[in-house]
Structure 1
Amino acid sequence: MNEDTLNMEVRKFLKQVGVTSQREIEHAILKAVEEGRLQGSEKLDIKMTLELSHLI
Structure 2
Amino acid sequence: MNEDTLNMEVRKFLKQVGVTSQREIEHAILKAVEEGRLQGTENLDVKMTLELPQLDLKHCIDGKLALE
TM-score, normalised with respect to structure 1: 0.88
Mapped to 2, the partners of 1:21 and 1:53 lie a distance apart of: 18
SS in 2 for 1:41: coil
> Where do 5+ consecutive residues of structure 1 fail to align?
none
Q: CA–CA distance in 1 between the matches of 2:28 and 2:6?
A: 33
CA distance in 2, matches of 1:10, 1:21: 16
Identity %: 91
Please identify runs of 4+ aligned residues in structure 1 that moved more than 6 A: 53-56
Question: What's the Cα RMSD here?
Answer: 6.9
CA deviation string 1:1-56 (max 9, x = no partner) = 20011001100100100100000000000000000000111011100111058999
